[in-house]
Amino acid sequence: MAERVVQETATLPTMIIFLITLHPPFLIVSFSIFIPDEKVNGIFLLFLHNRKSKSYIYNKTARRRACMATQPTAMNLFYDEGPLPRGTGRVFHCNPNLGKIDVFINGLLIIKDLSFKQVSSLAAFPPGRCQIDVYVNRKLLVSNVFTIQEEEKIFAVITGDETGVDIAKFSADHLVPPGESAACFLHLASRLGKVDWSVHKGDVVFPSAAYLSATPWLPLSPVSFHLEARKAGTKMILLPMPNCSFEANEAYLICIIHNGNQLEKLPIKLK
């Protein structure tokens, strides 16, 4: 009997963990599994959360992927031979009725004490289902769920007014031709109706832009322009924007926000 037990246990695979490192918000576990006649190498990329998830092991010998269920305490575990598949982006706080905010991504605190009119540092957004939660003083104010593509570059905004808080996501991925510039215009002032993005005393460039809308990217020469936001369909100037400067080889998000007292233009250079 003892001999039979020894023979059975000798065929069990052996896992050797080479490295466990923490790269917020991911816990990376590199490992090798030795099985008779083949060897499995892989990496667990752990994004902690309290929902169900899946993880992937890559078998370099058999060239196949095996999908395994994980514990309910894990979410979004990924493996890939190349760079980590994820989206990246920044969060812009432009709600004048909120103080400093904390931003959670899939249940993890990623951005802390973000002030009004402040843009966060670059953050990772896991591909697939991505939930953004906004807290003030440990109290949940609003949540929204987005679908994030691998390598997607995003610009998330926290806006709204005294009646509510809104979360929106915009693309921040634009290639600027060498020596040129480009701009995208975001309407982030909830109290404002539709606007016409226009050249000062000139033509309307983008008509009837609604709240939480983004215009197509506009190629520009790297000079200064006098622009304005008009009430849609009229000549009424809601916000003059003189001397809008654009540098060569740079892309800009031109945002209209409400600062609590009046409308304001905030140009944000994409990095």
What is the token pair recorded at 206?
């983008």
Q: Which fold would CATH assign to domain 86-173?
A: Immunoglobulin-like (2.60.40)
* Best-predicted range by mean pLDDT (20-29, 36-45, 207-216): 207-216
Instruction: Give the full edge-to-edge strand order of the sheet including 195-199.
Output: 204-209, 195-199, 224-231, 237-245
Q: How far apart are CA 126 and CA 38, in angstroms?
A: 32
Please name the amino acid found at residue 234.
T
Instruction: Give residue 80's pLDDT.
Output: 37
Predicted confidence band at 67 (pLDDT cuts at 50, 70, 90)? very low
For residue 119, what is the DSSP state?
B
Instruction: Give residue 175's pLDDT.
Output: 87
Instruction: Give residue 262's pLDDT.
Output: 92
Instruction: Give residue 110's pLDDT.
Output: 95
C-alpha radius of gyration, the chain, whole number: 25
4-8, 157-161, 191-195, range with the lowest pLDDT: 4-8
Smallest Cα–Cα separation from 146: which of 126, 173, 118? 126
2 — phi, psi (to 5°)? -60, -40
| Percent of the chain residues past pLDDT 90, beyond the cut | 63
The string of pLDDT tens digits covering residues 111-139 is 999 999 999 999 999 999 999 999 999 99
CATH 2.60.40, the chain: domain bounds: 86-173, 176-271
Q: Is 159 exposed, middle or buried (0-12, 13-18, 19+ CB in 10 A)?
A: buried
CATH class in words for 176-271: mainly beta
Average pLDDT, the chain: 79
| pLDDT, mean of residues 28-43 | 52
